[in-house]
């Protein structure tokens, strides 16, 4: 669990994206989820860690229990301005 906490903390402080599999309490299977930004790390009244943030670019906010997250991966966003790229012409 310490490794997962470090990954989530890195995403929170560095502004990275999180991808993970999440298991809801009512369901038996894991579903893939993504947090584009991690904006909140907090404890609830039962001392469980909640990870909150935007799930898409429209600003839809969700919270997830850290203990229900598995296979957590942290990704850095890299934006490339396409209009500045120039086509390459190969001459044989």
Q: What gap in Å lies between CA 6 and CA 78, rounded to an integer?
A: 21
Nearest Cα neighbor of 33 from 22, 24, 44 is 22
Q: Would you write out the chain's pLDDT as a tens digit for each of its 92 residues?
A: 678 889 999 999 998 999 999 998 888 899 999 999 999 999 999 999 999 999 988 889 999 999 999 999 998 877 766 666 566 566 65
pLDDT reported for residue 27: 83
Residues facing 62 on adjacent strands? 53
Query: Which pTM value belongs to this model?
Result: 0.75
- 2-84 CATH: 2.30.30
């Amino acid at each position: 669990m310490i490794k997962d906490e470090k990954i989530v903390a890195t995403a929170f402080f560095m502004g990275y994206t999180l991808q993970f599999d999440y298991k809801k309490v009512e369901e038996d299977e894991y579903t893939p989820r993504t947090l584009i930004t991690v904006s909140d790390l907090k404890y609830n009244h039962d001392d469980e860690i909640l990870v909150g943030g935007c799930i898409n670019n429209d600003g839809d906010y969700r919270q997830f229990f850290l203990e229900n997250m598995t296979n957590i991966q942290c990704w850095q966003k890299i934006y490339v301005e396409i209009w500045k790229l120039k086509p390459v012409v190969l001459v044989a």
